[in-house]
Structure formats: structure tokens, C-alpha cells
Amino acid sequence: MRKFMTVLLVAAGLLMAAPAQAQLKFGVKAGVNLSKASLSGLDMKEKNYTGYFVGPMAEFTIPLIGLGVDGALLYSHKGALKTDEGTTKMNTIEIPISLKYTIGLGNLAGIYIAAGPQFGYNIGKKTFSEYDFKLKGSNLSANIGAGVKLLGHLQAGVNYNIALGKTGESLGDNVGAFDFKTNTWQVSVAYLF
């Protein structure tokens, strides 16, 4: 019983010390979007479109257990849909929030996996009469990703963003009714201060 109490006290002490070791870091994140629309109700193949994103980020971690939360406020430019007339581009403010688990050698190097929701708000043009469709004003998506941390300040990662709702829909006048979702691969680099 005495050994059990000693182990219990040591475990409680470690758990109480973990928040004291917690780190909050701020930084900048940037990267490349590779988006592709999946169409519903229209027999047409979509091509990939390359764009970019950039913005501030914050990361809260508990080093002892490797668990943390990552959030960012990103300006994102990506393609939504390509037609014969051209490409419709989306300009959005995106707020990804991810639960992140890191395995590594302290601040020197680590590998992480992350997952969480992303909230997007369309700040660009929403109706494209020349292409006969409109984009949604906001959307919700899910992020799944992995990456590496180096020297306590640098991060590089790959992320897949899955749209959970419609990105846009046809107005139905010229090409018939259809809607689409835009899923995006993202490659990012971040620097934390």
C-alpha cells in the first residue's frame, strides 16, 4: 500500500507539473493549396488547381505528453471550379484548429499527426453569372495531417482538407443543376517565435 501511495503521489506531481511546462508559441504559416472539385449531378472531370495560403498561427503544447492544440488565421487563395471559360477562384479566410500529437526528441526534432475542424469564410466574389453558379459564403471542413518539427521553431507538414458540405452549386440556367465540393491538399511551412 505504501508503494502504491508513493507511485500515486509521483504521478500526481508529474501531472501537476505538466501544465507548468506548457508552451504557447506564436508564428507565421504559409504554403501551397492543391484543390480539386468533386461534382455531383454533372458528368465532367475536374482538374487540380494550385493556390496559396498565409497567415499567423499559435500552438499550445504540453511537452511532457506531446499533446497540443494548433490554430491559425489564414488568407487562402484556391480554385473552386474550372470551366471552358476559365477558372473560378476562391478567396477565403480559413480558421483551422487541430489537436496535435508529437513524438520526438524534445525541441530538437519530432514527428506530429494532427486532426481537427476548419472554418472557412468566402471573402471574394460569390456569384459567377458567366459560369452559371455561385459559391457558398462559408463552409466547414475536416483536416487530417502530419509533419515534422525541427529545432523548436520550424515545422513542415502535409494536410488533407475534406469539405463537409457544398462549396458551391449551379444556378441551373445553362448547364443544368449540379453542386460541388472542393477538397484540398496543403503543403505548409511554419516558423514559431
CA-to-CA distance for 136 and 185, rounded, in angstroms?
20
Going 56 to 155 to 109 to 10, the CA torsion angle's sign is positive
Is 144 buried (19+), middle (13-18) or exposed (0-12) by CB count in 10 A? Answer: middle
CA-to-CA distance for 71 and 184, rounded, in angstroms?
18
Q: Write out the DSSP string of 71-106.
A: EE-EEEEEEEEEETTEEEEEEEEEEEEEEEEEEEST
CA-to-CA distance for 39 and 49, rounded, in angstroms?
15
Q: What is the mean pLDDT of residues 120-133?
A: 78
Residues 16-53: tens digit of each pLDDT: 554 556 789 999 999 999 998 877 765 555 677 889 99
Q: Provide the pLDDT for residue 174.
A: 57
CA-to-CA distance for 82 and 80, rounded, in angstroms?
7
Taken in order of first residue, the domains within the chain and their CATH numbers are 22-192 (2.40.160.20)
How much of the chain, in percent, has pLDDT values that exceed 90? 51
Backbone angles phi, psi at 61, to 5 degrees: -130, 150
pTM value is 0.81
Q: What is the mean pLDDT of residues 178-182?
A: 81
If one compares 20 and 117, the residue with the highest pLDDT of the two is 117
Going 58 to 149 to 53 to 193, the CA torsion angle's sign is positive
Q: Provide the pLDDT for residue 182.
A: 87
